[in-house]
Structure 1
Amino acid sequence: MAFHDIRFPASLSFGSLGGPERRTEVVTLANGFEERNTPWAQSRRRYDAGMGLRSLDDVAALIAFFEARQGMLHAFRWKDWADYKSGLPSHAVTALDQEIGRGDGVAAVFALRKGYVSGGQVHYRDIAKPVAGSVRVAVGNDPQAEGLHWSVDAATGQVSFATPPGPGAIVTAGFEFDVPVRFDADLIQVSVASFQAGVVPKVPVVEVRI
Structure 2
Amino acid sequence: MRGLGTEGTMATANDRAVLQTIFNPSTPFGDIPGLDDEEEEEAQEEGEAFAPELLEQVRDLELQGVSAAESGDVSTALERFSEAIRLLPERASGYNNRAQALRLRGDVAGALRDLDVAIRLSRGCGHAACQSFVQRGLIHQLQARQEDARRDFERAARLGSAFARRQLVLLNPYSALCNQMLCEMLGRLRNPGGTGNE
Greater Rg over alpha carbons, structure = 1
Q: Normalising by the residue count of structure 2, what TM-score does the alignment of the two structures yield? A: 0.22
Q: Higher RCO, 1 or 2 (CA under 8 Å, sep at least 6)?
A: 1
Q: Which has the higher strand share?
A: 1
